[in-house]
Amino acid sequence: QKEVEQDPGPLSVPEGAIVSLNCTYSNSAFQYFMWYRQYSRKGPELLMYTYSSGNKEDGRFTAQVDKSSKYISLFIRDSQPSDSATYLCAMNPGGYNKLIFGAGTRLAVHP
């Protein structure tokens, strides 16, 4: 079993929809949780960062962490075609910030 599980999709939604992306993990030592966005043929870019449990909002994006369920989510409101990308969750078990990545979910937002 992988330490971090993420549904690869693809996920296709109409413009304006609310998108929910999720990851589950098995290591209870994870404290830091990140979402990266990766456009086709580009490097991943940091989108959201959350420490421990709770919610964090940044514009149309909300990151949610439920450590009791070992489950994290990224919500995108009013999705736009420019949100079409692969979204990778990543977690830090602490120490020398070795990130553990999910496989990524490919999202397509169509006009």
Residue numbers at the binding site for another protein (CB under 8 A): 6, 8, 32, 34, 36, 41-46, 49, 51, 88, 90, 92, 96-99, 101-104
Nearest in space to 27 (alpha carbons), one of 72, 73, 86, 62: 72
CB of 97 to another protein, least distance (A): 6
CB of 10 to another protein, least distance (A): 12
Cis? peptide before 8, omega within 30° of 0: no
Maximum Cα–Cα distance across the chain: 43
18 or 28: whose CB is closer to another protein?
A: 28
DSSP class of residue 43 equals -
99 or 108: whose CB is closer to another protein?
A: 99
13 or 99: whose CB is closer to another protein?
A: 99
Nearest in space to 94 (alpha carbons), one of 49, 28, 24: 28
